[in-house]
Amino acid sequence: MSTDEKIQAEEKTQEAVATAAQPVTGSAIAQLAINSIRTLSMDAVQAANSGHPGTPMALAPVAYSVWQNFLRFDPSDPTWLARDRFVLSCGHASMLLYSVLHLAEVKQSDHYGDVVDEPAVPLEHLKQFRQLHSRCPGHPEFGETGGVETTTGPLGQGCGNSVGMAIAQKWLAARYNKPGHELFNANTYVLCSDGDLMEGVSSEAASIAGHLKLSNLIWIYDDNKITIEGETELAFTENVAMRFKAYGWNVLKIDDANDLPAIDKVLKRFTRTKNMPTFVVLRSHIGYGSPNKQDSHKAHGEALGAEEIALTKKFYGWTRDQFDVPPEVYEHFRSGVGARGAKLHKAWKNKVKKYAKDHPELAAEIAAMEKRDLPADWQSAIPTFPTDPKGMASRVSSGKVLNALAAKIPWLIGGSADLAPSTNTLLTAEDAGHFEPDNYGGRNFHWGIREHGMAAALNGMCLGGVRPYGATFFCFTDYMRPSMRLSSIMRLPVIYVLTHDSIGLGEDGPTHQPVEHLAAMRAIPGLVLIRPGDANEVAEAYRSALSLNDKPTVLVLTRQALPTVDRTRFASVSGAARGGYVLGGTDVQLGGARPDVILMASGSELQVVVAAYERLTTEGVKARVVSMPSWELFEMQDAAYRESVLPSDVTARVACEAGIEQGWQRYLGNGGRFVGMASFGASAPAPALYKHFGITPERVIEEARVAMK
């Protein structure tokens, strides 16, 4: 008998036992727990008069089964590194998650993994669903509510995150498990909806998960045949199961979302599946139990109304008041997921203690990772680059710095969306390896041409404990912006290595040349963009990026060579950490005199303003040149420092950047002038383009003269 046949035979026996032993709906206490999830969800949506009751009502049984019978999760420490993850990708059904977190008495934790000794979701917060400062915001938000593993709501993102979580779990297992010491073997459970599966990002994620054979990942698809506008017939008629089969997933079916034994069987089957992710088509009925709204899009996104709630509760046989949970339900969860999680977590801590004796260095790594720390001496790896008028592309210096740092930080792992030879993001150490189904300890990732899936997975990897980076061309941030925005909302220190930063990439032309992308990235609150001006600023950029443990960083790098600035003639590169600094024309160099004009630039245009500065200086103009690799880091400095770099009484200013002007007004003021792009680029060698679009020292000098008038 093959393994698969054995599993099937075993399941048949179990099925017979299950059918004989209990009704299809499960035990009375299970029913009570499930109906508690349903009624809490209905009541909270009704209290808010806003939200999504139908899907929590339908998915309560499967959420119950996963949590109560399978999830290895300790409610008293929702941040335990080796825990199973539960992701509600259809974030609109947030009340499902909040109800479970409430009933399972999960503790509160924050963005940094600090646990607070109080319930994450007390009843008062459920009653304040969707109100300001409630721990039950409209959609689940990581860091706001203990037990919420990731921020979901933009459909498809949770699916993408889950692939990153499963990857992190496989990687941790491969690197840290040793003979006699199994520390990591966690699973990721996902609930997802029609919307999740229509979004492209989930297809990218599913495709790579199948390729990678992530057997620790299960997506449970809520096949309710309903979306907002009506029946899925309107727009979604493909055979989803066949699609996932083609992706290489193990596809299973549950015909009735209320059939607990069937759910149990499928989840067991998942935990025994070794070589592929699991996809479950779960046929459900949105608004289950509501006599007038079940199976209708009316149950999707609005309160049921008091009358309909009364009718539905009658159907459930529910006689209690609003928000009134039977005490035995709490006890039930305590003795289920609570007891199991506490026991496993305690055993894990003991395992780690023993492990630390045999593998002290690896144990120290795990401890650092748990706190989102880095190895103590990681900064010692950061290289310095000698002065070089010819210099090197910042993508090249980036590759050198990244590799030097990776040697010090084992869990700095990542890859590119099929552009590693161009983005220079390959880790070249002999033992770095490639993350593949037969080598989950590999540190190089091949995302294929799936930028969005990559970015969503990076968030999941970061949530899973590692420090991930992902790379592509800067222009293709357009293809992953939704996930980058979520990196920032979740305060995740993901590093995006983005090369080919402007018209400077040359011949590939306007489709590949970012123009508005700097402005677009800077518009994302909390995200730190760094566009370093030479190799040493690249080194500093990595120092900043890795020092930040609660913000994503975007490194914007060139294809073309940049001169490495002579730091004996110009200021030390240490200023780059402050986002903007005086490179030439310092107070000392100007003898304390007020500058006549300030020239600012980032990245590849630094050399342009430096050339202009040198010419103006020889002409006797008291010019100052400011390198501005990062507005966001500059804005984090105190007012006195910012004033010392850009004295407010110097209104003659020129900024030069091979992107659009938008945003530069902040530093230019009314009297300032901008030299950059106002249109898409063109296909030609880079020097010709800089000349054609007038991004030259001559133009900067011209504008400086206008500004000084």
Ligand X SMILES: Cc1ncc(C[n+]2csc(CCOP(=O)(O)OP(=O)(O)O)c2C)c(N)n1
| Interface residue list for ligand X (CB under 6 A) | 55, 90, 92-93, 153-155, 193-195, 199, 222, 224, 226-228, 286, 300
CB 311 within 8 A of CB 57: no
Q: Which stretch binds Mg ion (CB under 5 A): 34-42, 221-229, 237-245, 591-599?
A: 221-229
Contact at 8 Å (CB) between 15 and 22?
A: no
Minimum distance, C-beta of residue 229 to ligand X, in the bound complex (Å):
8
Which residues share a beta bridge with 598?
624, 653
Query: Least CB distance from residue 147 to ligand X, whole Å?
Result: 21
Out of Mg ion, ligand X, none, which partner does residue 204 contact, by CB within 5 to 8 A per kind?
none
Judged by beta carbon distances under 5 to 8 A according to partner kind, the member of Mg ion, ligand X, none in contact with residue 153 is ligand X
Residues in contact with 296: Cβ distance below 8 Å, sequence separation at least 6, in sequence order: 226, 286, 287
Torsion of the alpha carbons at 694, 697, 699 and 703, rounded to the nearest 10? 140
Q: Angle CA(506)–CA(508)–CA(510) in degrees, nearest 5?
A: 90
Residue 228 binding: pick among ligand X, Mg ion, none (C-beta 5-8 Å cut-off by kind): ligand X
Q: Which of 113, 84, 109, 106 is nearest to 368 (CA)?
A: 113
Tokens of 593: 């005199």
CA pair distance 34, 29, nearest whole angstrom: 8
Q: Which is nearer to ligand X, 202 or 416 (CB)?
A: 202
Measure the CA dihedral 336/339/342/346, to 10°.
-130
Assess whether 451 carries a catalytic annotation. yes
Among all residues, whose Cβ is closest to ligand X? Answer: 195
Residue nearest to Mg ion (CB): 194
- Beta-carbon contacts of residue 124 (< 8 Å; ≥ 6 apart): none
92's contact among ligand X, Mg ion, none, with CB below 5 to 8 A by partner kind, is ligand X
- Smaller CB separation from Mg ion, 68 or 193: 193
Q: Tell me the window of 158-166, 186-194, 466-474, 556-564 that interacts with Mg ion (CB under 5 A).
A: 186-194
Q: Is 194 in the site for Mg ion (CB under 5 A)?
A: yes
CB of 226 to ligand X, least distance (A): 5
CA-to-CA distance for 497 and 417, rounded, in angstroms? 11
Give the count of residues interacting with Mg ion (CB under 5 A).
Answer: 4
The entry of ligand X, Mg ion, none near residue 655 (CB within 5 to 8 angstroms by kind) is: none
- Supply φ then ψ for residue 316, to 5 degrees: -75, -10
- Count the alpha carbons within 13 Å of 505 in the hemisphere toward its beta carbon: 25
Write down the least CB distance from residue 154 to ligand X, Å.
4
The listed partner (ligand X, Mg ion, none) that binds 276, CB under 5 to 8 Å by sort, is none
| Residue of the chain from 217, 226, 458, 576 that contacts Mg ion (CB under 5 A) | 226
Considering the complex, state which of residue 235 and residue 593 has its C-beta at the smaller distance from ligand X.
Answer: 235
230/671 with CB nearer ligand X = 230
Closest distance of CB 58 from Mg ion, Å: 9
Assess contact for 591 and 559: CB atoms under 8 A.
Answer: no
Pick what 90 binds: Mg ion, ligand X, none; C-beta below 5 to 8 Å, kind-dependent: ligand X
Minimal distance, residue 113 CB to ligand X, in Å: 27
**Closest C-alpha to 68, from 341, 363, 402:** 341
Contact predicate 497/538, CB 8 Å? no
Residue 224 in contact with Mg ion, rule: CB under 5 A: yes
Q: How far is the CB of 608 from ligand X (least distance, A)?
A: 40
The DSSP-derived string for 450-469 is -HHHHHHHHHHHHHTT-EEE
Least distance between ligand X and beta carbon 205 (Å): 14
Q: Give the length of the chain.
A: 709
User: Of 105, 144, 365, 451, which residue is the catalytic one?
Assistant: 451
Buried-exposed string 337-365: b where 16+ CB fall within 10 A, e elsewhere: bbebbeebbeebeeebeebbeebeebbeb
Q: What is the DSSP letter of 581?
A: E
Contact yes or no for 46/304 (Cβ under 8 A): yes
Give me the residues that bind Mg ion (CB under 5 A), please: 193-194, 224, 226
Known catalytic residues are 451
